[in-house]
Structure 1
Amino acid sequence: METVTFAREYLCNYGFSVIPVGIDKKPLIEWKEFQRRFPTVKELDEWFSKDDVNIAIVTGAISDLVVLDVDGEEGIRSITENKLHIPETSMVKTGRGFHYYFRYREGVKNLTDYYPGIDLRGEGGYVLAPPSLHSSGVRYRWVRPLTKNLAEIPEWIIKRDTETKKKELNWVDDLLRGVESGRRNDSLASLAGHFFGKNLGFNETLSILLDWNRRNNPPLPDAEVIKTVESIYKREREKISLKEGKPDIELLFDDPLDIDNINAPFIARYLDIASSITDAPKDYHLGSILAVLSTVIGPNVSSPIMTGLTRKLKPNLYVLLIGESSLFRKSTALYLAVELLKKIPDCFGEDSKEEEKRYGLILPQSFSPEALLVILSKRDGRPSLLVKDEISGLLNAFRRTYMAGTKEDLIKLYDGDRIEQMTLGRGYIRICNPYLSWLSATTPDSFSSAFEDGDISSGLIPRFLVVYPDNHGWGKRIEIISDDLENFPGFSSLQEDIKKIYSYWEKNRVTYHLSERGLEIFNRLISKLETMIDKEPNLDKTLARIPWISYKIAMILQAVDDGLEISREEKDLIRDDYLLLAISIVNRFIPQTLKAIEIIGQSETNRVINKIIRYLSSEPKGRRDIMRKFHLTSDFTDKIRRTMIERELIDVKRAPNEVWRLR
């Protein structure tokens, strides 16, 4: 049987994700995406039609598979001496030992040298499969035939040192009850390090520790807790970067952004005023005002900078604010920036029989993908701003293949590409010169479910300026309603400036260029990105749009000054310091983008676990309380409990009533 036939059999009959590897066991492709998606038959035919290609099966959730690797005499001796029972299941003879195939249990990852000569391949791993050729010349073969009914993984494989668990449980449990003055800071640092070590995110850890702080006598100031947790978080991230050999993204460029002292007068003024109205993170205000400015500047501003395409680059932006509900005030920041547009006559369109006049600068809040294309066809060649307080509903609508309008159209609209479609309900739609900016918000949960891995490789997510800050507002009361904002000191002046910028660029046109030094700066940016991608190739798609987003922001910064008719000599030249500022702005958001990408496709199980961790942070809770709180079925609760125990997150007291307690 040919290798490609085996590969098809593993994929189609057994549901295994399969990848090609060499005789040295190294993948011949970038294989990480196949931990989340299955290859196509076409990909299999392409990979395995070549000579000297071995088959590897990706282990973990994607294939519902865990493999126990017993290597040589040392592994067999470990099984014998430790009296380890291996249930009867599908088994492969390898070059030097055996592979035992078991059904996957959630949370099981790779384990090396669990016992001498015994490894485990779970989430994040792969194993060679028959008829692969070992470097010794021996072919992998089935000793016990492959079956769809694999045995359950033995308990001894996932068991941990219970004494260590109890010791760890005791000190964490003691500290979580609250401490006296003199122990608060050390306890805070220890707990933060503990929770980050359990792979909890920044927001979950901060929420737990702010709640813990209220049980201290006396509590620390919240600002001190936040500062300490941020410091521990950065330290833990640096440890991971050093351990995994990953480049430090935040040090990619030379000049970190000082968001409190941005050298762009209009934006600096807006950040000051917005921050006096609400305590939303300044990152939100910065992202929101850039989206609004990209809209009012419009398509009459362009640059011939080489983008790999024949058209000129336009300054429109897609901006996405991510944060938990309420605490982060992302919607407040979003609508505050949008308020600046309300003095523009074209803001909402007119009550007119002529469709071209009916739609304004700000698009309607509710529409189908098909309707969006129709509206943009009526505003062809004019700027439009799509404002959505929650992005997930719109993206889910764009997934429906039976409707006109797909995610590919969102990419075309961003790039300014021509769109032509014949639809059943609306007839022929043509958009020759689209100009769409987009400002949206979402929660981490909605983001992880609305976007897919394919949205990275397609280039949709990399086109967004993603704003996902760690810090958030802490309860400043917002007393101003939108109708009164123009009476807030300085806000009306901002609105007038926005109106002036819009009017100027409606009548004027410019093609911006870089100076010689600016071109050197831009090429240095590209060179640094290439170096980083060489070290971390899987970031290729994620970082590919960074130069062009930076250039767009530089165009915006320059066009704001020109729209306000700030005097300067060379009207078509982007200032070098604006290009540097734009690069610093994008650099600030790269780690936030990568943080967001990490949660794409995160399972419902993980989302519920994070919520339960927060719920248990104050005190242990009963199983029934947990089920009622999160509306869980009994079977799903069992799955959650098993997973949290395996991840060493909780201990469970089963009698007389089941109680869950954080470790």
Structure 2
Amino acid sequence: METQASKLTDECAWELYDRGFTVIPLGSPFETPPPYFVNKRFDGNKEKAQQEWPKQARVPWAKFQKVTPSLEDMDYWTASYPRANWAIVTGTRVIVVDADSEEAVQFMESGTIGRTPWKVKTGKGKHFYYAVNPNVEIRNSVNAHSKIDIRGLGGYVVAPGSTHANGNRYEWEYDASWVIDSIDDLPCLSEEDLQAIQQFNGRNVLNKSSQVKTNSPKPNPEVTGNLGFNTADYQPKASGEAVSEGSRNQSAVSLTGQYIASGTDLRTIKQMLDTWNTGNSPPLDPSELNTCIASTILTHLRKHPHDVIPVQPAPPEPAKASNLSLPDSGGMPGHLYDIPGVLGEVVQFANQTARRKQPALAVQSALALGSVVCGRYYKTDKGNFSSLYFLNIAKSASGKEHCKDVVEQILEASGYGRLISGSGYTSSGALFSELLHEPNHISIIDEFGKYLEGSQHKMNPHKAEAITRLVEAWSKCGSSLYPPVYSTMGMSKQAAEEMRKRCIKHPALTLLALTTPGTFYGALSPELVKDGFLGRFIVMESQLKRQVSSDPGLIEVPENITKWVATIRENLAGNLTSHMPPENKPAQNILVFEEAALQRLKALDQEIIQKMDELEQYGIEVLLGRTREKAMRIALILALSVDPFAETITRQVTGWAIDYVRYHDYYMVDTVVNRVGGSSFETQLKECVHEIEKAKERGLTLYEIGRNPSFSKMRGKERKEILDDICSRGHARLIQVAKPTGGRPRMAYVHANFC
């Protein structure tokens, strides 16, 4: 325990130092306090001294209230005190509110005090981190009778990574919905916040010991060219509001700050805040909303005088040179968000019920629903069925899981919950057994990247077999799927004969897989590309950043959608029931492609052949081998979406299907070219180059590389080989990078585009 704690606290100290915090060493709960501390401070009471020693500064630290410790200081401290706790000095760059009880934490998180995305779980409560307010000087306020202490000028707090005397660790607790790059981007405590804390403490603690100093407010300057409207017209209100209403203002400020930090232009910010405000009950007055936006922008520009907030979206960056002449993959074309027919209503329902909206993933949800509902009982005159595999890639906590809820909710509400299968298949036998039970079903696989990763592990050949059988099942919609041959020795003649007869006529399997970019691209291997598995998926990678969640309330599935599901299932050829035994070939409704639709498909075929020829040099032409087939399957679904009694597939729905599949397949080709090599080493190398490029001019230090998922799965020797190869090929360089906030420079690997 001591060795682990020692290692972790040293690493945390350097990490905090690199992030701009002023840190000093404290005592340690893993050692006995020195005699001077026990005798002079606690009159020989060893038990009490042991409780306080982990919070005691073990170096003179007054000067570090004004200056940052040097590298030599840090080297000496980490070497001299290997098991130390660490503290963050407050007042110059950061203010910390210390809520030391459950009641105090509840108050801080109730909305009365401005929210902050950086918190630390302590031994008894939480620390809440804020940036220093240039208009309010806050000194250290610690009082035995206070429920909440303020750590400002002249104070420090125990840093995350340290260990409390009771054995609890101090741990970061981040709010992922905020985009925070540095300490300076944290929100500030206002005078109203300080007064509210005083009232909670039940005494005028701050006036006695904090010595709050407020600069006289300056009128807002008239700023127009950089903002798009005159901020002088929207003066911030001087008085506070009730919590129920104040939370709206606070949320508006929070959202504006996040969008500014992410580089969003003002016009888009205004549109997004207006849309958000319509869902409030009641909405903020437009003038009041503009006040929140204007004051947030002015605060940001005051703190970051060199920043420029664009009024309109920046034009797209020119595409990188490529031999493939692939279309821009920066965002899905607008018309692809509008699915023809009832499935368009499914998209609307998905967006209305989402806590974090993902419109592109909602389209995938609707198509997956159509795929499983149409099942094995509808086909085109060219032999195409509706079964499809979908893959949704989005960041964690960004709303990708909602597509699963939408499909399940609609099937359950329509009375077809039995079409929902489990989350993935542990072996080829499991897949076959599930198809025997229900030849037409949907499997929704969460954490699909980890599923792929498991399938490539040498100790788990069963998942690899399941992948092979999934590839086969995709192509068997129009024929039969047979199980592996097993020995019938020891079986009765009747049992052996039944086993030989087992087969699945027209298996109709729909997959809806969910994953994060990191786990998916980390598991994506050349083998999965070349064996055609990836090419059978329609892959959608969301480009949206994480969003603050909303509460849409309880919304029932629209009756029009459930009626459509029932009509499709009950209108089966020959008045069949909706469940057919797997060994029986079902009769099917056949829809005929119009001649104009076939001409569109022929043009697509010619285009795809040309693209495949270009991709042959990369060995990934197989990625486009199923593009035409996928478009024809979607066209079948869309024709039934427009008219459940349709007999033809029109040029219009075929054109939409072609545009949709072509966009996503080309995007995936572009991604694979940039991120997957011809071998496992090349794939790893490309993924690591991508991670370094994402860090832009800031680069990645060795410390950060060791914690990056793309690098951390390697051993130290492998990581060094990858980094050496990246540098030798000219993809990146190890250089000294100056910190934008000052302090010692960092040695970091920086991509060649930013050197």
TM-score (norm 2): 0.48
- Cα distance in 1 for residues equivalent to 2:308 and 2:419: 40
Q: CA RMSD in A?
A: 4.6
Amino acid corresponding to residue 591 of structure 1 in structure 2: Y
- Could you tell me whether the CA contact under 8 Å between 1:468 and 1:596 is conserved in 2? no
Please tell me whether residue 544 in structure 1 is matched to residue 589 in structure 2: no
What's the TM-score once normalised by structure 1's chain length? 0.54
Indicate the SS of the match to 1:249: coil
CA shift in 2, pair 1:216/1:580, >3 Å: same
C-alpha distance after superposition, 1:25-66 (max 9, x if no partner):
xxxxxxxxxxxxxxxxxxxxxxxxxxxxxxxxxxxxxxxxxx
Instruction: Write the distance in 2 (CA, Å) between the matches of 1:223 and 1:314.
Output: 53
- Once residues 462 and 531 of structure 2 are traced to their aligned partners in structure 1, the CA distance between those partners, rounded to angstroms, is 20
Query: Relative to structure 1, is the Cα distance of residues 227 and 314 closer, same or farther in structure 2, using a 3 angstrom cutoff?
Result: farther
Per-residue CA deviation, residues 254-285 of structure 1 (Å, 9 max, x unaligned), is: x96613544x1312222223223334332211
Task: Give, in angstroms, the shift of residue 540 of structure 1.
Answer: 3.0
**Local SS of the residue matching 1:530:** helix
Q: Please state if 1:436 is matched with 2:509.
A: yes
> Counterparts of 1:479-498 in structure 2 under 5 Å?
479-480=552-553, 484-486=554-556, 491=558, 493-498=560-565
Instruction: Establish whether residue 502 from structure 1 lines up as the match of residue 569 from structure 2.
Output: yes
Q: CA deviation at 1:441?
A: 1.0
1:589 aligns with 2:654: no
The letter of the residue matching 2:327 is: I
Answer yes or no: is the 8 Å Cα contact 2:384–2:633 preserved in 1. Answer: yes
Q: Partner amino acid for 1:320?
A: L
Matched letter for residue 447 of structure 2: E
- Aligned mate of 2:654, from 572, 579, 593: 579
Give the one of 594, 597, 602 matched to 1:523.
602
CA 323–226 in structure 1, closer or farther in 2 if over 3 Å, else same? farther
* 5+ residue gaps, structure 1: 1-174, 186-205, 306-311, 348-359, 566-570
User: Which structure 2 segments of 5+ residues have no match?
Assistant: 1-181, 186-220, 228-257, 266-296, 489-494, 577-587
Corresponding residue number in structure 2 for 1:277: 353
The 5 A counterparts of 1:168-567 are: 210=262, 217=301, 228=313, 231-232=315-316, 235-237=317-319, 239-241=320-322, 244=323, 246-249=324-327, 258-262=335-339, 264-278=340-354, 279-305=356-382, 312-327=383-398, 329-347=399-417, 360-365=418-423, 367-379=425-437, 382-396=439-453, 398-399=455-456, 400-401=460-461, 405-416=465-476, 417-423=480-486, 428=499, 430-480=503-553, 484-486=554-556, 491=558, 493-505=560-572, 507=575, 509-538=588-617, 540-563=621-644, 565=645
Which amino acid letter does the alignment assign opposite residue 271 of structure 1?
V
The amino acid of 2:342's aligned partner reads: F
Q: Is the 8 A contact 1:250 1:587 kept in 2?
A: no
**Whole-Å separation in 2 of the counterparts to 1:516 and 1:621:** 56
Which one is further off, 519-528 or 607-616?
607-616
Say if 2:746 is the partner of 1:659: yes
Q: Identify if the C-alpha distance between structure 1 residues 285 and 434 changes in structure 2 by more than 3 Å, giving closer, same or farther.
A: same
How far the C-alpha of 1:516 sits from its partner, in A, is 2.0
Counterpart residue identity of residue 350, structure 2? A
Mapping of residues 11-50 of structure 1, within 5 Å: none
Paired letter, 2:663: R
Distance 1:450 1:424 in 2: 35
8 Å CA contact retained: 1:456, 1:462: yes
* Distance 1:177-1:223 versus aligned 2 partners, 3 A rule: closer
C-alpha separation between the residues in 1 aligned to 2:590 and 2:656?
A: 20
Instruction: Count residues in correspondence.
Output: 422
Is contact 1:369–1:398 with CA below 8 Å preserved after alignment?
A: no
Structure 2 distance, partners of 1:609, 1:537, is 23
| Kept after mapping to 2: 8 A contact 1:288/1:337 | yes
Residue-by-residue CA offset, 1:476-526 (whole Å, 9 max, x unaligned): 42454xxx442xxx6454334333333334846311211222222221221
Give the structure with higher Rg (CA): 2
The residue identity in structure 1 corresponding to 2:348 is D
Partner SS, residue 522 of structure 1: helix
- 1:429-472 Cα distance to aligned partner (Å, 9 max, x none): 63333110110111222222433223333222111111113234
1:249/1:590 contact within 8 Å kept: no
How far 1:342 moved relative to its partner? Answer: 0.9
Q: Distance in 1 between matches of 2:335 and 2:654?
A: 15
The one-character-per-residue Cα deviations of 1:130-157 (angstroms, maximum 9, x if unpaired) are: xxxxxxxxxxxxxxxxxxxxxxxxxxxx
Highest RCO, 1 vs 2 (Cα 8 Å, sep ≥ 6):
1
Distance 1:607 1:498 in 2: 42
8 Å CA contact 1:280, 1:473 repeated in 2: no
